[in-house]
Amino acid sequence: MDALRTFIALGPLAVYLLLMGLVNVSRRPLLTTGSRDFYALGIAVAGMMIVGPLELFMPDGASRPIAWMLLLALYWMCLTLLILMIRPRLVIYNVTGEQLRQALAAALARFRLEHRWAGDSLFLPELGVQLNLEGFPAMRNVSLVATAAKQSYRGWLKLERALVTELRSLTVQPQPLGYALICLGLLTLGGCMTWMLMRPQEVVEGVFELLRT
């Protein structure tokens, strides 16, 4: 694989690793929705899709710029379809399961929301939300995942806002793994850019090859 394709494949992934590293060394938790989290991952691997399946299925004799736009649009629509198929979830980075339980309990008490716990499962009848806590200790993040197909979208929005308000006051210790992710992201990005700078002619030829009509 030439320098340009290597950069296209690994560049977005390197940026994703760098951002994830910065999130994990922060002293504040970060809450995001499952949709945004999945979109971020989809963008991170988009480069590999471009130099892999998308380029492989490029139709012969087609105008490359137009074909690329159509293929990228198809990739984005497939990604969106997958996101629409998954159950609602909230992903909280840089927090332990116990810390999130405490923040969740405080948020429920603050807004006086009726709730029932059953192990790691939580039922919020007023919001129309049923969820389960799923932890990932290695990366120190926790997901609140819907346990039933029928859920209230507005209820999830209210829960998200309540949790965001409560998590603002929470301070955590930086995650050591975050520094490793930052280093890996910087090394990957730096290596790809250095390779491109060392082979400018190869990069130009790669651009013309990808966009040739």
Token reading at 32: 């995001």
The answer to whether residue 212 scores a pLDDT higher than 80 is no
Question: Is the predicted pLDDT of residue 13 greater than 60, yes or no?
Answer: yes
CA distance 188 to 6: 10
Dihedral, 175, 177, 183, 185 alpha carbons, nearest 10: -100
Total residue count of the chain as it appears in this document: 213
170-204: per-residue pLDDT in tens? Answer: 888 888 899 999 999 999 999 999 999 999 888 88
Which of 65, 29, 85 lies closest to 207, judged by CA?
65
3-class DSSP assignment, residue 99: helix
Is residue 60 predicted with pLDDT exceeding 90?
no
Could you identify the residue written with the tokens 């009509």?
Answer: 213
Mean pLDDT of 135-155: 88
Q: What is the pLDDT of residue 61?
A: 64
pLDDT score of 30 more than 70 = yes
* Contacts of 196 by beta carbon, 8 Å cutoff, 6+ apart: 3, 4, 7, 203
Q: Is the pLDDT of residue 55 over 90?
A: no
- Under the banding of pLDDT at 50, 70 and 90, the label for residue 138 is confident
> pLDDT for 96-125, tens place per residue?
888 999 999 998 888 888 899 888 899 999
pTM given for the model: 0.88
pLDDT of 62 reads 62
Mean pLDDT (the chain) is 90
The residues near 61 (Cβ < 8 Å, ≥ 6 apart) are none
Give pLDDT, residue 82: 94
pLDDT value at position 35?
A: 93
Q: Which domains does the chain have, with CATH numbers?
A: 1-86+174-213 (no CATH), 88-172 (3.30.310.80)
The better pLDDT of the pair 63, 89 is held by 89
Contact (Cβ atoms closer than 8 angstroms) between residue 193 and residue 46 = no
Give the pLDDT of residue 2. Answer: 84
Residues 6 or more apart in contact with residue 151 via CB below 8 angstroms: 87, 88, 128, 129, 130
